[in-house]
Structure 1
Amino acid sequence: MKNTNKLHCMTVAIVLAFSSAALPAMAAGTDAAPVVAGATAAVPAFDLDQDVNSALKTFDVPGIAIAIVKDGKVIAAKGFGVRKLGDPAPVDAKTLFEVASNSKGFTAATLSMLVDEGKLAWDDPVTRHLPGFQMYDSYVTGAMTIRDLLTHRSGLGLGAGDLLWWPTTTFSTDEIIEKLRYIRPATSFRSSYAYDNLLYIVAGKIIAEKTGKTWGEAVHERILTPLGMTSTTTSLAENAGNPDVANAHSKINGKIAAVKSMPVPNAVGAVGINTNAEDIAKWMMVLLDGGKIAGVKDKDGKQARLFSEKQGREMWSEQTPVKIGEPKPALAATKPNFSAYGLGFQLRDYKGMKVAMHGGALQGFYSRVVMVPEAKLGVAILTNAENGGSMTALQWRILDHYLNAAPSDWIKLVAKVEQDQHEAEVKKVGNASSARAAKSQPSLPLVSYDGEYEDAWYGKVVIRHEGKKQILSFTRTPDLTGELEHFQHDTFIVRWKERNFNADAYVTFSLNPDGSIDRVKMAPVSAETDFSYDFQDLNLVPVKARADKK
């Protein structure tokens, strides 16, 4: 998931939710309470209502829903704050939130059921079930298995190709899968961990192929209906007519604001679920009980299951090791002893216990699901804002309480780390601006940069003049359009019209000896930009130049 502003799922490797090297949203700890220089001696006693309301205020989050299960019982399923700023309607236990990459666990569980039924095996080649599947490297195409789709070790870079679906694009699921063959790998196959979303889209397609239903229909039939998750949906379209839905919120110029949601019907295998506190509590209980559906018998009178105990173990078994980073000193106690990715779940330890968890992020929503099997404890935190700190602080507060650990003032500690990191990044961006060659001029007249540019996997990007403004637009991404302003030399910055993206990017033109444009490269201006804006993976070539080479 990646930074203090945008968590993806990612999310997600550099995302806040997955990397102990970033803000330790998924970090773990020792049995001792942290010793923090400058920390107040008195730590507030745990009080769920008080802690959540404090987090709402401290981290500027409009609404949060919390679900806690323990020993097979629902301890809490409730809402706090409001669904939308400026509207008094409260968040409650039934308020729907987009949970983004927490959908990956549903995809993994559905595949587990198909494995139980003998319709596929984890180590089947993907091409056995999806003959048209193709990666950039022919060896990887043939060697990639169903297991590989879920374990973030394909060789793709972090979030590679996410611009095919994020922000909302006009690509179909099939088009996204077809584009995989044009995305160059960042590392060799199975050599390292790098969080991706595209291969979960492929996994969702395989579910559709093997069940004869859409991914959403299969998840409804196989998971949501048996568990009684009657409010949970698999697309934003299903939410129509339901008034109890949280609104998305993002920062615009540093101030929280209500924004539109981001439909992603082409990426449902990775990010399709919308759920609430009541329903996600049921999901955590079946996961913590190894697939058993409490209080339900099958047609033979035996304990009903979603998936076998064997598949439950497989999903929560280490598949890909994840490098452990160093958290900030104030959060040193959250550092894990091991970190890995399973099948649809991040794995690590805390207080000597194994933890299975995941984060999720879409425009205006962050979520976190954390389960401690040994303690039969599950915690879900759903928010309608893009702030990982609120979830991180509440995660540790709740876990420490139910694991009988010495309490820490995680809200205060995490808020300070988040503030310091944000201020450091703002300073870094400011320094880059101050150090630029401000008096330099572009090599060419501005109109000479106008034209169509094409990347092998994304497709076309257009630069054109609209009056005195020079506009850059991604042709398959309606909202990804913005004005170019000169930065220095042949580098510009595109300022996106949708300011809540917080994803302005450098646009650098390379010239041929004759002064014509050879290619265009892009890169985020700020490290706080969500990694799914993978501008750096684009290699844009003038369409005319490409045509001349054919």
Structure 2
Amino acid sequence: MQTLNKIAAALLIGFSSIGAALAQDSATTAAAPAYNLEADVNRVLKTFDVPGIAIAVVKDGKVVVTQGFGVRKLGDPTPVDGKTIFEIASNSKAFTAAGLAMLVDQGKLDWDDPVIKHLPDFRMYDAYVTAEMTVRDLLTHRSGLGLGAGDLMWWPTTTFTSDEIIHNLRYIKPATSFRSSYAYDNLLYIVAGKIIAQKSGKPWGQTMREWILDPVGMTGTTTSLDAHTAGMNVSAPHSKINGKAAVVKPMPVANAVGAVGINTSAEDIARWMNVLLDGGRVGKDASGKEVRLWSDKQAREMWTAQTPMAINQPRPPLSATKPNFYAYGLGFQLRDYQGKLVAMHGGALQGFYSRVLLVPEAKLGIAIFTNAESGPSLNALQYRLLDQYLGVAPTDWIGRIADVDREMQEKEAARLKKETGSRAKASKPSLALGDYVGEYEDAWYGKATVKKVGTKLIMSFSRTPDLTGEMEHFQHDTFIVRWKERNFNADAYATFSLDHDGSIERLRMKPISTETDFSYDFQDLLFTPVKKAK
């Protein structure tokens, strides 16, 4: 199914010699067998059903690998190469954090400025949080919002503007108290992107181009899918449909660029990683003076722990991957591996997963891009490459992670089967189907509609064109919404609650599968019927 492009001979020689040097036994001058990157990636492509992968590795200020594997699009033999563009989603957060760091260096804001100093109309649900939230808080996932709260305003593609999303933050109830715990969010990075645009007087994308992308030399990188034209070297997105990878349509997210707006290649991300590892330096000007994008102080700030993160116990085969510390900095997750600090981040959008890892002490940077939604493929290559370049004895991470992934999928399938089997099969809805028809409104999302088409109920989200699906009765007053776009893998329960008079009081939803992306935050919605005008 995959067509692997061949590695250039010169690249193979350079890469192999480095791999041999790292693996060399100190007691002998005989070189160990060269590391076969292509064999590992080829195995990952097959094991995890991934059409294409791009990898970049930098070491000691030099670019070691910028290589593509597999194909850009299933059904088309065109190979992925070092220039192929991938959507890197939340790996964009580092660019937004860097943009704010540059503004701090310029004296235009401070990390601990209240957000309302720069965006006076900014509001959170709680007045105290509104007054106290700082620019730093926007980047550190400690706002009190729940995991992915409000993401349905931008994911999948919606008609909300960035300003509407920011405005609607005031209607999202917190899940915890302010600054008490970590919970990943995207919406506050949209706010951060708004501050950058306000201070620069230009859109976020144009600002990133002028402040970062052009100075770094990331000439192939884009900040909008609108910039992608026919014939460009761009990867297609792929999602699982009925358990098999398939081409899906791109998901533009112009309203969330501060969180997920960068699209780039292995060659360009290598340049970015070298700048990050060198504290923001981009070279020297014509007079020989050092040129840097941000100061040493800001470089340290971005990689300083801000919010502690929970450390989960991995399954026994993966015990060596457990960190001793885990925290979020400014646009980066921070952890340790093999006794060394790793600043890293992941990214996920429809059809694309990515990961960027930086080991400052080893002057090592690794980026892995996939045109599929496969976390296990990233994990397998992450640890394989880290071990290779840190001189650690190799472990069959690909096999181990594949086994764990298979086990997890089997457990989830068994859970869903049990849940379905235990439902009250003989139960019926309390009301006639036509009585569930109507408009329902949530404070932060807006409206969803339930219509009757023939003998079926159909749910549609007003601001999300692709969120439309049939409602299949599950039990009592709970239905399963099966979205027309099957690649979402986000079918959800929809439960109606009745008032004392038999009328519908509210509608709550939640994903069926624990594997559904957290940005489908159906559980945060509280729909109530829209009262018809008399």
Q: What letter matches 2:161 in structure 1?
A: S
AA aligned to 1:486 is H
Deviations along 1:509-531, one digit per CA (max 9) or x if unpaired, are: 00001100000000100000000
Q: Report whether the alignment pairs 1:98 with 2:62.
A: no
In the alignment, the residues of structure 2 paired with residue 171 and residue 487 of structure 1 have an alpha-carbon distance, to the nearest angstrom, of 32
Task: Identify which range, 262-271 or 234-243, moves more after superposition.
Answer: 234-243
The within-5 A match list for 1:231-242 is: 231-242=220-231
Asked if structure 1 preserves the Cα contact closer than 8 Å seen for 2:73 and 2:247, the reply is yes
How much has 1:395 moved relative to structure 2?
0.6
Once the two structures are TM-superposed, the CA of residue 159 in structure 1 deviates from its matched residue by 0.1
Q: Which amino acid aligns with 2:453?
A: E
Give the length in aligned residue pairs: 503
Give the distance between the partners of 1:126 and 1:325, measured in 2 at CA. 33
Q: CA offset at residue 144 of structure 1? A: 0.3
* Larger Rg, first or second structure (1 or 2): 2
Report which structure shows greater RCO (CA 8 Å, sep ≥6): 1
- Corresponding residue of 2:140: 151
Question: How big is each residue's C-alpha offset from its partner over 1:204-239, in whole Å with a ceiling of 9 and x where there is no partner?
Answer: 000000000000000000000001100000010111
Q: Which runs of 4+ in 1 moved over 3 A?
A: 298-301
The DSSP-based 3-state class of the residue aligned with 1:75 is: strand
Shift of 1:299: 6.8
CA shift for structure 1 position 468: 2.2
2:59 equivalent in structure 1: 70
Contact 2:54-2:82 within 8 A present in 1 as well: yes
Decide which of 302, 317, 323 is 2:304's aligned counterpart: 317
> Are the equivalent residues in 2 in contact too, given 1:505–1:524 (CA < 8 A)?
yes
Letter in 2 for 1:345: F
* Residue in structure 2 matched with residue 4 of structure 1 by the alignment: none
* Alignment check: 8 A CA contact 2:508 2:525 kept: yes
Instruction: Tell me if structure 1 keeps the 8 A contact 2:147–2:518.
Output: yes
Offset from partner CA, 1:48-96 (integer Å, 9 cap, x none):
1110111000100000000000000000001000000000000000000
1:110 aligns with one of 76, 91, 99: 99
Q: Does 1:196 align with 2:185?
A: yes
Q: Shift of the alpha carbon at 1:45?
A: 7.6
Distance in 2 between residues matched to 1:59 and 1:303, nearest whole Å:
44
Q: What's the offset of the Cα at 1:297? A: 1.8
Structure 1 residues 299, 187: CA separation in 2 closer, same or farther (over 3 Å shift)? Answer: farther
| Residue in 2 that maps onto 1:132 | 121
- Hey, what's the Cα distance between the residues in 1 that align with 2:121 and 2:252? 26
**Aligned-partner residue type, residue 518 of structure 1:** E
Aligned counterparts of 1:46 and 1:482: Cα–Cα separation in 2: 48
Residue in 2 that maps onto 1:283: 272
Aligned to 1:13: none
Corresponding residue for residue 164 of structure 1 = 153
Please list the CA deviations of residues 468-501 of structure 1 after superposition, one character each: whole Å capped at 9, or x if unmatched: 2210000000000000000000000000000000
Give runs of aligned pairs for residues 229-378 of structure 1, distance below 5 A.
229-293=218-282, 296-298=283-285, 301-378=288-365
Structure 1: how far apart are the matches of 2:229 and 2:142?
Answer: 37
Aligned identity (percent) is: 70
Letter in 2 for 1:85: L
SS in 2 for 1:544: coil
Residue 406 of structure 1, CA deviation: 1.2
Q: TM-score, normalised by structure 1?
A: 0.90
Q: CA deviation at 1:467?
A: 2.0
Q: CA RMSD in A?
A: 1.3
Give 1:435's match in structure 2, choosing from 422, 434, 437: 422
Work out the CA distance in 2 between the residues paired with 1:272 and 1:236.
9
Any idea what SS the aligned residue of 2:531 has? helix
**Mapped contact 2:433–2:452 kept (Cα < 8 A):** no
Q: 2:380 corresponds to which residue?
A: 393
Is 1:87 equivalent to 2:76 in the alignment? yes
Q: Which runs of 5+ in 1 are unaligned?
A: 1-43
For 1:419-460, what per-residue CA distance to the aligned partner results, in whole angstroms no more than 9, with x for missing partners? 110111011011100000011000000110000000000000
Which of 194, 210, 214 is equivalent to 1:221? Answer: 210
1:59 to 30, 43, 48: 48
**Alpha-carbon distance in structure 1 between the residues aligned to 2:34 and 2:189:** 41
Contiguous gaps of at least 5 residues in structure 2: 1-32
C-alpha distance 183-340 of structure 1, shift in aligned 2 (>3 A): same
Q: Distance between the aligned counterparts of 1:459 and 1:418, measured in 2?
A: 37
Specify the alignment match of 2:112 in structure 1. 123
2:482: which partner in 1?
495
Superposed CA deviations along residues 293-318 of structure 1, whole A, max 9, x for unmatched, are 1xx32476421101111100000000
What is residue 176 of structure 1 aligned with on the other side?
A: 165
Aligned residue in 2 for 1:485 = 472
